[in-house]
Each structure stands twice: as C-alpha cells, then as structure tokens.
C-alpha cells in the first residue's frame, strides 16, 4: 500500500513538473485567493477586532474605577455605589459578594472559576424569567472584604465575529474556484499560442520552411514573440534559399570551366603522342584554374567577413577621400568606354575599415562600368546620412533587385560578361559590417531603367 502511495505521489510530481501551464494557472489562482484572504483578514483586524478590544477595555477601566472608589469609601457604602443595571448604556454588570456569601447586584450567583482581572473569560447567565441564556465575559478582583465581579454582554460581537468567519470561509472557497476562471483563460490562450508555435516548428523540422505563426496585430507580448519568430524564420528561409541558389550557381558557373579544362586536358593527352604541347595551351589551362581559385578564395573571404564581425581595425575615415581614390582607380576603364563619372561629395567622417570601404565603392563602380553601355553617366552623391551611386544603364528588374547581393547570383544577360558574381555580395557584407542599410531602386522609375543603390549610414561621427 505504501509503495502504491509513493508511486502515485511520484507520478503527480512528474506531471506537475511537466505541465508548466497548469502550474502557472494554479499559481495565479492561488495568488488571487491569497489577495482575497489578506483583504478579509485586514477587514477583520480593522473593524471587528477593534470593537471587541474596545468592549474589553471599557470593562477593565470600570474595574479600575471600582478599585479607586473602594479606597475612598467605607465598606458599608460599597454596595450602594455599584452600577448594577444589566442594560445600561455601556452594558456593564457589577456584582459584589461579601465574605459571608451575600450577593449585591443583578446576578443571583457568583461564578467561582472566573480569573482575576485583567484576564477575561466568558460565562453563561440566565436572563429575564429563565427563558434566555446570555453569554457574558468578565473577571473578578477583591476589595475590602468583597469579591467583585465585572462583566459585559459581548455576545452580539461574538456572533458578528462568527458570522464574519463563516462568511470569510465561504468567500475564500468560492474565490479559489472563481480565480480558476481567469487563470484557465490565460492557460487556454498560452496553450493556443504555444500550439501554433509547436505546429510551425514541426513543419520546419520536416523541411517546410514556409510556415509562419499567425499574428493579430494586437502588439501584445505574444504577438511580439510571433513577429520575432516569423522574422527569424524569414531569415532562416532566406539563408537556405541563398544556399540553394549558391549551390545552383556553383553548378551552373563552374561546370563550364571545369568541362573546358577537362576537354583541354583530353586534347593535350591526345596531342602529346604526336606533337609537342605549346605554352599557349598550358597557359589556357593555368588561367582556367586561376579563375576557379579566385572564385573559391572570394567565397572564403565573404564567409570570413560574415562570421568574424571584427571591428578592431575600425578607425575614423574620410568617406569622401575614399570615394575619390576609388574614382581615380577606375577612371581609365571608364574612359575606354567613354563613360563619365560625376561626384557631389560632402566631407563625412565615418567609423570603419578603409580597405573594405574602398573595395565596396570600387566594386560598385566596376559593376557599373561592366554592365553599362558606352557613353553612360555614373553619378556619386555623398551626404551626412547617405551614399548614392546611380547609373543610366539598363538596370535590374524589381524581382531581381534584392537577389543581386546573393553569392554567385548573376542576371541572365550578364552571364556573358567576365566575373564571378561575388562583387555585389562583398558590398552587402561590408555594408552590414559597417551598419549601413542598402536600398536598391531604379534611377529612372518611370522608364524602369538605371541602377540606383542607396546606403543609409548609422554611426556617423559628429
């Protein structure tokens, strides 16, 4: 039997630990119940208890007055100074008993078990013609050959106290069950929200990353948590999509050079048996391998920048001077295609790494040079809050504007242009490292042409 009880107790403890929502609900109900209990106790202490104590204090003061009167009056006059009316305004009864047993007062007997004042004790008496029993409270003391009993009728106060205690017990019982209603509602809401989260997490565990938690735009705690989780899932889905895109891009972009290398090696093996291999053929293979190594080195550099978040080499830099240096470097290339660069630069100090910021600007200018036709204008504007680089080229459609910052992503029409699809991803990583927000737009929105990239600064140094 004891083993069964111990096992049942252990199972209850396990269930109590597992079901946190039940613990929370009962805790809320218990707190509400304790609040009501404290309120009832405070009402009792501030209303009923003072009344009882006041009656007792009046009785003890009356006893002290009798003791004082006995000291200034003779023994024979003591019975005449008693206020022995049972129903006087203060409800105090006084009874004297002489040493020979004679009683003076309204009571026909003198209880012998009453304690000495100031200790009080209740005792019953018969009131009227013997029809009612009244419960009095009193004590006794001795003066000049008399035993004096002082008592008061506090029965109605005790009834009030008993009624209050009974009512308080009923209220506490009902309060506990009523308190379960809001706690149950809270538990229901929390369980519903957690069920939605569990459903979405289960979908993600199965490989479905498009599940999201429903929000009601109430902006309460649960709604904010749902927004945060959804934002996290958006980021995860974007990362996974980007990984898939990178994989597809690697398979698409590297298949051609690898196939070319394989074909050339096969050709060289066939030719080596009949004629010597030229240096040009060796150089072609070497160039293909160099291109592959550059691609992987660039990808490794991007991964290092994304994961390190190292800002130990940040210094106060002049962005305008960095832009001027980048323009000076690419200007000869622009002259070959008769392209023009115009600048409107304010002096802006920024916390960052000069080499990375230089590469960011250079990659954008080099990208504009590659994909813009001849005689195209490229404009650079630097203010205290933004850096804008725009061109008059063909631009990028809206569906691909955010994808151009993904690794190895290249617009179909740009695949014939030399490159690895890693220039703009490097721009995005450098901007993120320097707390810049990137916005991609059309230079000419009505014609939907031209590429306009806006960098919004965050840590401008005053």
Distance separating alpha carbons of residues 82 and 155, to the nearest angstrom? 23
d(CA 303, CA 242): 13
Q: Give 88's DSSP letter.
A: S
Specify the number of domains making up the chain: 2
Instruction: Flag whether pLDDT at 262 surpasses 80.
Output: no
Determine, yes or no, domain membership for 151: no
Per the domain annotation, does 32 fall within a domain?
A: no
Phi then psi for 240, rounded to 5 degrees?
Answer: -65, -40
According to the model, what pLDDT value does residue 273 have?
A: 59
Between 69-73, 149-153, 316-320, the lowest mean confidence (pLDDT) is in 69-73
Per-residue pLDDT at 381 exceeds 90: yes
| pLDDT, tens digit, 9 for 90 and up, residues 36-63 | 888 888 888 887 777 777 777 877 887 7
361 vs 196, which has greater pLDDT?
361
The verdict on residue 376 lying in a domain is yes
* CA-angle at 68, arms to 65 and 71, nearest 5°: 150
At residue 455 the predicted structure's pLDDT band, cuts being 50, 70 and 90, is: very high
Token pair of 242 as six digits: 């980007």
In tens, the pLDDT along 2-17 reads: 666 666 666 655 555 5
How confident is residue 174, by pLDDT bands cut at 50, 70 and 90? Answer: confident
Q: Are residues 365 and 290 in the same domain?
A: no
Assess if residue 332 is contained within a domain. Answer: yes
| pLDDT tens string 182-224 | 767 777 777 777 777 778 777 777 777 777 777 777 666 767 7
Pick from 186-195, 257-266, 406-415: least confident: 406-415
- The distance from CA 249 to its chain's CA centroid, rounded to whole angstroms, is 40
More confident residue, 400 or 438: 438
Q: What is the DSSP letter of 418?
A: S
> pLDDT digit string (tens) for 309-353?
777 788 999 999 999 999 999 988 888 888 899 999 999 989 888
For 90-143, write each residue's pLDDT tens digit: 577 788 888 777 777 777 778 878 888 888 888 877 765 556 777 788 888 887
Domain for residue 186, yes or no? no
In a domain, residue 27? The reply is: no
Q: Are residues 349 and 250 in the same domain?
A: no
Domain boundary among 236, 270, 295: 295
Share of the chain above pLDDT 70, in %: 70
Let me know if residue 93 belongs to a domain: no
For residue 389, how many other CB atoms are within 10 A of its CB? Answer: 23
Q: What is the C-alpha separation between 323 and 83, in angstroms, rounded? A: 110
Q: In terms of domains, do 321 and 280 share one?
A: no
Do 227 and 315 lie in one domain? The reply is no
**78 close to 24: Cβ distance less than 8 angstroms:** no
340 forms bridges with which residues in the sheet? 377
Q: Looking at the structure, tell me whether residues 290 and 429 fall in a common domain.
A: no
Do 375 and 322 belong to one domain?
A: yes
Count of positions (residues) in the chain? 462
Bridge pairing between strands 377-382 and 340-345: parallel
Which residues constitute the domain of residue 409?
A: 309-456
Residue 415: the pLDDT is 46
- For 231-275, the DSSP string reads HHHHHHHHHHHHHHHHHHHHHHHHHHHHHHHHHHHHHHHHHTTTS
- Both 315 and 423 in one domain: the answer is yes
Domain end marker among 295, 317, 337: 295
Q: Is the peptide bond before 118 cis (omega within 30 degrees of 0)?
A: yes
- 449, 318: one domain: yes
Q: Quick one: 350 and 375 in the same domain?
A: yes
Residues 313 and 281 in one domain: no
Q: What CATH number did the domain enclosing 440 receive? A: 3.30.565.10
CA-based nearest residue to 138, from 158, 152, 125, 127: 152
Q: What pLDDT is recorded for position 191? A: 73
Is 426 a member of any domain? Answer: yes
Give pLDDT, residue 454: 92
pTM of the shown model: 0.47
Chosen domain end from 267, 295, 323: 295
Of the ranges 19-33, 76-90, 334-348, the best mean pLDDT one: 334-348
Question: How high is the mean pLDDT of the chain?
Answer: 76
pLDDT tens, position by position, 420-432 = 567 788 888 888 8
Q: Which tokens in the block code for residue 29?
A: 């109900």
Same domain, 381 and 441: yes
Helix (H, G, I), strand (E, B), or coil: what is residue 433?
A: helix
Domain shared by 315 and 452, yes or no: yes
């Amino acid at each position: 039997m004891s083993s069964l009880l111990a096992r049942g107790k252990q199972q209850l403890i396990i269930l109590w630990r597992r079901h946190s929502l039940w613990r929370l609900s009962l805790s809320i109900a218990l707190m509400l119940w304790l609040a009501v209990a404290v309120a009832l106790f405070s009402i009792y202490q501030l209303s009923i208890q003072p009344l009882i104590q006041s009656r007792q204090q009046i009785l003890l003061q009356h006893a002290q007055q009798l003791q004082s009167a006995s000291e200034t009056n003779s023994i024979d006059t003591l019975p005449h100074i008693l206020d022995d009316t049972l129903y006087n305004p203060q409800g105090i009864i006084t009874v004297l008993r002489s040493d020979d047993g004679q009683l003076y007062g309204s009571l026909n007997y003198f209880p012998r078990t009453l304690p000495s004042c100031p200790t009080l004790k209740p005792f019953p008496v018969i009131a009227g013609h013997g029809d009612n029993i009244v419960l009095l409270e009193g004590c006794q003391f001795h003066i000049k050959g008399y035993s004096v009993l002082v008592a008061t009728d506090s029965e109605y106060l005790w009834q009030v106290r008993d009624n209050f205690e009974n009512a308080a017990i009923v209220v506490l019982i009902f309060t506990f069950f009523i308190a379960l209603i809001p706690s149950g509602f809270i538990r229901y809401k929390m369980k519903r929200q957690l069920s939605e989260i569990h459903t979405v997490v289960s979908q993600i565990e199965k490989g479905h990353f498009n599940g999201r938690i429903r929000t009601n735009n109430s902006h309460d705690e649960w709604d904010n948590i749902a927004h945060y989780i959804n934002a996290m899932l958006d980021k995860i889905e974007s990362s996974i999509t980007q990984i898939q895109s990178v994989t597809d891009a690697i398979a698409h972009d590297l298949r051609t050079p690898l196939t070319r290398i394989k074909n050339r090696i096969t050709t060289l093996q066939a030719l080596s048996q009949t004629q010597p291999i030229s240096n040009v053929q060796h150089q072609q293979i070497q160039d293909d391998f160099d291109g592959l190594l550059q691609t992987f080195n660039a990808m490794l550099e991007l991964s290092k920048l994304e994961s390190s978040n190292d800002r130990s080499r940040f210094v106060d830099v002049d962005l305008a001077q960095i832009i001027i240096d980048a323009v000076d470097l690419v200007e000869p290339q622009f002259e070959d295609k008769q392209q023009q660069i115009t600048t409107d630069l304010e002096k802006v100090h920024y916390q960052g790494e000069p080499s990375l910021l230089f590469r960011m600007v250079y990659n954008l200018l080099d990208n504009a040079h590659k994909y813009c036709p001849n005689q195209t204008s490229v404009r650079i504007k630097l203010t205290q809050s933004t850096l804008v680089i725009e061109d008059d080229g063909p631009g990028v459609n809206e569906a691909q504007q955010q994808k151009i910052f993904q690794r190895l992503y290249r617009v179909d029409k740009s695949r014939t242009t030399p490159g690895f699809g890693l220039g703009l991803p490097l721009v995005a990583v450098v901007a993120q490292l320097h707390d810049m927000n990137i916005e991609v737009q059309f230079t000419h929105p009505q014609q939907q042409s031209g590429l306009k990239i806006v960098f919004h600064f965050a840590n401008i140094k005053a």
